[in-house]
Amino acid sequence: MQIKKFTSSTLKEAIAEMKQEFGVEAIVLGTKVIEDFSNGVEKKLFEITASLDEEVMVEAKKKEAPKTKSFETEMKKLTDKIYGVQQSSETFSKQKEPVKTININLDRSQFDSIKQELKDKDVSDKNIDKVIKMISQYSHLVNEDNKEEYILSILASIIPTSDFELQKKKKKKVISLVGPTGVGKTTCIA
């Protein structure tokens, strides 16, 4: 068993030192506040007495030492995966029948109907033009079955989004708790 004292100006710093040296498996045996007058000025220091079982130290060192794999074995596994995928994709492509896609030969009336449908749904003219442009560019991918999904995906890619961030207000608040004795005013705060 290893025992050591950690001293710092704050309790938090002393605990951080202890965890850095002993790890999370350390056991706190005691804490003490020490008054230091060495510089002529009174200063409070926090002292933590901590211990760590040597068996735990040995186990922690074993866990920290990762198993090293040789470069050759890793390369062999990766090449096997790559060639295995290529072989399976080749056999799959031989087995499957060619997929028949029904291209939409979009004429002016179909573009107009799409524009009108989007206007009815309150989509801006700028976004409607982008949708029509994308549909005309990739008309070979669009068929009757996936036309609506394709339009939705185009609209989703046009709409700008950002991550949600919760901003805490720095403003302090004063709250007054009033009530008879024993109803839990202090417990409510804690």
Within-domain flag for 176: no
Within-domain flag for 81: no
pLDDT of 92 reads: 55
| pLDDT tens profile 40-52 | 777 888 888 888 8
pLDDT of 100 reads: 42
pLDDT confidence bin for 68, thresholds 50/70/90: low
Write out 7-21 in H/E/C secondary structure: EECCHHHHHHHHHHH
Checking if the pLDDT of 98 tops 50, the result is: no
Within-domain flag for 173: no
Cα–Cα distance, 115 to 167 (Å, whole number): 40
Q: Could you tell me which residues come within 8 angstroms of residue 45 by beta carbon, excluding any fewer than 6 positions away?
A: 7, 8, 9, 33, 34, 35, 36
Within-domain flag for 175: no
Checking if the pLDDT of 84 tops 50, the result is: yes
Checking if the pLDDT of 95 tops 70, the result is: no
Checking if the pLDDT of 66 tops 70, the result is: no
Residue that is last in its domain, among 64, 80, 100: 64
Within-domain flag for 163: no
The domain in which residue 34 lies consists of 2-64
Give the DSSP H or E segment for 82: helix 71-95
Looking at the structure, tell me whether residues 58 and 112 fall in a common domain.
no
Within-domain flag for 87: no
Cα–Cα distance, 161 to 36 (Å, whole number): 56
> Residue 50 burial (CB < 10 Å; 0-12/13-18/19+)?
buried
| pLDDT tens profile 145-189 | 777 888 888 887 777 766 666 666 667 777 788 889 989 888 877
Distances (CA, A) of 66 to 11, 62, 73, 112: 33, 8, 16, 64
Q: Residues 120-140: what's their mean pLDDT? A: 83
Within-domain flag for 146: yes
Checking if the pLDDT of 74 tops 80, the result is: no
| pLDDT tens profile 111-128 | 788 888 888 888 888 888
Residue bearing the bigger pLDDT, 1 or 69: 1
Cα–Cα distance, 139 to 157 (Å, whole number): 18
Q: What is the DSSP letter of 4?
A: E
Mean model confidence pLDDT for the chain = 75
pLDDT of 142 reads: 73
Residue that is last in its domain, among 12, 39, 64: 64
CATH of the domain at 41: 3.30.1660
Number of domains in the chain: 2
Within-domain flag for 24: yes
